[in-house]
Structure 1
Amino acid sequence: MIRSLRLRLMLAGALLAVLFMLGLLPALQKAFSLALQESIEQRLASDVTTLISAARIENGRLQMPSVLPDEQFNLPDGGLLGYIYDRNGALVWRSRATAEENINYQPRYDGRGTEFAHIRQADGEEFFVYDVEVKLLGGRSAAYSIVALQPVREYQKIISVLRKDLFLGFGAALIALLFLLWIGMTWGLRALRQLSRELDEVEAGNRDGLSEEHPRELLRLTNSLNRLLRHERHQRERYRHSLDDLAHSLKTPLAVLQSVSETIALRPQDIEQARILQTQIERMSQQIGYQLQRASLRKSGLVRHRVELQPLLDSLCSTLDKVYRDKQVAVSFTIPAQSYVPIEQGALLEMLGNLLENAYRLCLSQVHVSLAWSEDGLELCVEDDGPGVPADQRARILQRGERLDRQNPGQGIGLAVVKDIIESYDAQLTLEQSSLGGAAFRIRFKNT
């Protein structure tokens, strides 16, 4: 399927041009052929007129001068074929050029006056014939058929050359027409290219909407897209405000409950109840954070984000190095210079923060982050040299609330957040065995 609009229009225009020329070519050939035959007829009529003006009747017999006014009749190789027949069809005179021609022609003296015909000889040779019936010569009664002939091969040679010239001319005209069509369509589709550039700028976040400087036919489309962009932007703002209000409204009750639990924990007989209360408060805080992250880190429908990876990794690893400074984790990177990831910065920060925190917490001493391009898209990988994840447990720990590490606090929602973020960007998360010995989390972004 041809996906280029300009190429489609070019092919359609080329097809119409070829069909038009194929229909016009036979018509032109026919017109030239008729014009050439008319020219031949006029020439033969002129030759016959020359013969008639030179003929005389003396003593009831036809007399022709030895030298005719047209010199071509006087030359053996002059090419003018002239014959005179009596009313009975008997040949009474022939021009010198007919000496080497053996033409079998029988005139019909039937009172039609003038006839222009096309005859074929037994040997396949063809001739144009102009036959004039004459009843008066020099003011005297006479009955003769005066005939002039021309070989058809000369006509066919001219037609052949003309046909070749027409094909060459039409071919050159078609190439010139296609070139002009290409220029015209390039100019005509400039508005679509401008619209495409503006959409790229919108996706990259460099502009808020499309301009009004477009042809009238595209204004309805651009206005609809601008309304959609404004609606999406307002909706995202409402989501953020609502989430901020929710987080603020829940912060105070949770703080009060936390304070109450700490007060209860001061009484030895209530330590167990205080621990249970604190655990549930922590669980509530994490679940609220999880739901807020799911709602706020969704990919925009129209705006395509790109974030440089290395600076963000440096910032995260710097923070985690301080948190896990006792482990002395060695972090390495395999990332091309100025590499960008097609994801919103907040979402990328949340996703990598969870993956790197897991890697720092579970590794022995090494963490490796790599980024590579493939035919299918972009692959981001976070690996460690920790205990890894058994193959039969890899799918389970990606579910919300599932954890293998029971020694550290948490509710097992970090990887669920990561999975939700990745799926919202039409990417794929897989958990494999790392070459370092631990777990390898691979994120594959498709080409767009």
Structure 2
Amino acid sequence: MLSLRRRAMIGGALSAMASILVGAFVLLTLIEDNVLDRFDRGLIDRHSQLVVALNTTATNPVALSERLYDPAYATPFSGRYWQISNLDGETYTSGSMFDTTLKAPSSHSTDLTLRSMTGPEGEPVRSAFQQITLEDGSTWDVSVAESLAALAAERQQTRRSLLLAFVLVGLLGLAGAILQTTTILHPLDKLRRDVSKRWEQDEDLTTSDYPQEVAPLVDDINELLARNRDIIARARRQAADLAHALKTPTAILRNELTVLNAQNNNMEASLDALDRVDAQLGRSLARMRAANSGAAVSVRTDLSNSVDRFTRLFSSMAERDGKEMSTSCAPDLFIRMDQQDIEEVIGNLLDNALKWCNDAISLTAITREDGVELLIEDDGPGIPEGREREALKSGGRLDSSKPGTGLGLAIAIDLLQAYGADLNLEKSAALGGLAVRIFIPSKRRQSLAKAA
């Protein structure tokens, strides 16, 4: 389906083209008629001059050439001719006729007659003919003719000039249509930008900032934004309430199983199952929270602050286990991701890195051209080449020698996908173990957000 902008531009262009074509046809017709009328008036003037000269030389028509001072009449086939004939059949012509004559009309009308005909050497000419009776009573057929070549050349020049003029008018009309369309659609473009901006800032649109025709749409959008905020807020509260409601029963159940295990009852399988239940509940709640916040609500989180807190926490944990953690973070890093979500991602990945490393882990956060990149590395065994996809599956564990549910990566991926972010598993170039590379774009990726 064509956009409104394209529809308006195409409609304006077609309308302008139709107007220009109609205008060009009408104007060209009028101008050509005017050119022919001017041509005929000049022919009539020369006919009148010939009649006046004939009236003074009727008794000696040979002297008529001396009375007409136009050099074209003396140049053979110059394109300008005259001819007179009396009732006795005597015919006198201009020198330009050479040894040819003009064909007289079949009806010798006493009214001036204008007509197009074939002249000397087959040349198209236009003729003015009239039968007149002089004061001495003699009757003469008087004709003047002029080549149509000059008229055709003038018409051609007129058409060429009009074509250039209308091309210019067409270009100006097209530019005007584009400018008009852009001006008319500007409020809609502004509305689109403002919706995104106000949505991020949790503000309503100002109706008075838009034209009267757009104002009802702005009111509807404000109402829709308010409803969406309310729905998202309720969904997040419900997810938090559900997490709180499940946390207490699972904690009681874990305590009971721990007590039984301490009394020499083998509860390892039950505790492992409970760990998996907790992990699955945590993942489901994280997905619920992300689905109602990731792509729908755009927030800004100070990533530098979160990295500092995790550095202090995991550095002490690593030191307790005789290991080392290094951190490199660019200052003032802000990302479009909820603080709780990004910290859950970093926490899960650092916990995995600390669990599997031999001596060291590292966390790096840098700015890219269109987003922020996080890199978490360790010097552990890593993942065998070609099995990265298996490790990213829900609950996929390539090695069960360490405690855990295998859902840490899955939870991180769910949260990141909700914001259009990417997570890739690689071999660490610096430490030799696993490298988890995360890219968080600075702008929303609609397709990925919907897929999440």
Query: TM-score category by the smaller chain?
Result: 0.7 to 0.9
C-alpha distance in 2 between matches for 1:381 and 1:233:
33
TM-score w.r.t. the length of structure 2 is: 0.79
User: For residue 428 of structure 2, what is the aligned residue in structure 1?
Assistant: 434
User: For residue 326 of structure 2, what is the aligned residue in structure 1?
Assistant: 331
Does the CA contact (< 8 Å) of 1:329 and 1:360 recur in 2?
A: no
Does the CA contact (< 8 Å) of 1:360 and 1:367 recur in 2?
A: no
Does the CA contact (< 8 Å) of 1:80 and 1:150 recur in 2?
A: yes
C-alpha distance in 1 between matches for 2:334 and 2:58:
114
The equivalences for 1:399-438 within 5 A come to 399-404=393-398, 406=400, 408-435=402-429, 436-438=431-433
User: For residue 290 of structure 2, what is the aligned residue in structure 1?
Assistant: 297
SS in 1 for 2:326: strand
User: For residue 107 of structure 2, what is the aligned residue in structure 1?
Assistant: 110
Q: 1:254 to 1:109 in 2, by over 3 A?
A: closer
Give CA deviations for 1:365-386 in whole Å, capped at 9, x if unaligned: 14253657589x8765433222
The equivalences for 1:313-392 within 5 A come to 313-326=307-320, 327-333=322-328, 341-363=335-357, 364-369=359-364, 380-391=374-385
The equivalences for 1:125-144 within 5 A come to 125-134=123-132, 136-138=133-135, 140=137, 142-144=138-140
User: For residue 201 of structure 2, what is the aligned residue in structure 1?
Assistant: 206
The equivalences for 1:74-113 within 5 A come to 81-87=81-87, 90-92=90-92, 94=94, 98-99=95-96, 104-112=101-109, 113=111
> 2:46 aligned with 1:47, yes or no?
yes
> 2:394 aligned with 1:395, yes or no?
no
**Further displaced range: 233-242 or 51-60:** 51-60
Q: Which amino acid aligns with 2:290?
A: L
Q: CA deviation at 1:206?
A: 1.8
> 2:152 aligned with 1:156, yes or no?
yes
C-alpha distance in 1 between matches for 2:270 and 2:281:
16
C-alpha distance in 1 between matches for 2:265 and 2:58:
158
The equivalences for 1:144-293 within 5 A come to 144-203=140-199, 205-213=200-208, 214-215=210-211, 217-219=213-215, 221-258=217-254, 260=256, 270-272=263-265, 282-293=275-286
Q: 1:274 to 1:36 in 2, by over 3 A?
A: closer
C-alpha distance in 2 between matches for 1:380 and 1:7:
42
For structure 1, list consecutive stretches of 5 or more residues without a partner in the other structure: none
Q: CA deviation at 1:100?
A: 7.2
Does the CA contact (< 8 Å) of 2:83 and 2:102 recur in 1?
A: no
TM-score w.r.t. the length of structure 1 is: 0.79
Q: 1:167 to 1:58 in 2, by over 3 A?
A: closer
Does the CA contact (< 8 Å) of 1:56 and 1:64 recur in 2?
A: no
Q: CA deviation at 1:309?
A: 4.1
Q: CA deviation at 1:389?
A: 1.4
Q: 1:394 to 1:178 in 2, by over 3 A?
A: closer
Q: CA deviation at 1:146?
A: 0.9
Q: CA deviation at 1:121?
A: 4.3
Q: CA deviation at 1:32?
A: 1.5
Q: CA deviation at 1:261?
A: 5.2
Q: Which amino acid aligns with 1:312?
A: S
SS in 2 for 1:55: helix
Q: Which amino acid aligns with 1:349?
A: E
Q: 1:125 to 1:330 in 2, by over 3 A?
A: farther
SS in 2 for 1:357: helix
Q: CA deviation at 1:324?
A: 1.8
C-alpha distance in 1 between matches for 2:204 and 2:216:
14
Q: Which amino acid aligns with 2:424?
A: T
Does the CA contact (< 8 Å) of 2:81 and 2:97 recur in 1?
A: no
Does the CA contact (< 8 Å) of 1:308 and 1:339 recur in 2?
A: yes
Q: 1:263 to 1:80 in 2, by over 3 A?
A: closer
SS in 1 for 2:207: coil
Q: CA deviation at 1:387?
A: 0.9
C-alpha distance in 2 between matches for 1:278 and 1:4:
59
SS in 2 for 1:369: strand
**Further displaced range: 112-121 or 354-363:** 112-121
C-alpha distance in 2 between matches for 1:282 and 1:315:
26
Q: CA deviation at 1:415?
A: 1.4
**Further displaced range: 75-84 or 35-44:** 75-84
Q: Which amino acid aligns with 1:323?
A: M
Does the CA contact (< 8 Å) of 2:283 and 2:407 recur in 1?
A: yes
Q: Which amino acid aligns with 1:212?
A: T
Give CA deviations for 1:261-287 in whole Å, capped at 9, x if unaligned: 56656xx6x243576666565554444
For structure 2, list consecutive stretches of 5 or more residues without a partner in the other structure: 446-452
Percent sequence identity over aligned pairs: 24
Give CA deviations for 1:135-167 in whole Å, capped at 9, x if unaligned: x22272x43221122222322332233233223
Does the CA contact (< 8 Å) of 1:229 and 1:302 recur in 2?
A: no
Q: 1:338 to 1:104 in 2, by over 3 A?
A: farther
User: For residue 450 of structure 2, what is the aligned residue in structure 1?
Assistant: none
Does the CA contact (< 8 Å) of 2:114 and 2:126 recur in 1?
A: yes
Q: Which amino acid aligns with 1:431?
A: L
Moved over 6 A (4+): 57-67, 77-80, 274-277
The CA RMSD measured in Å over matched residues stands at 4.0
Q: CA deviation at 1:417?
A: 0.6
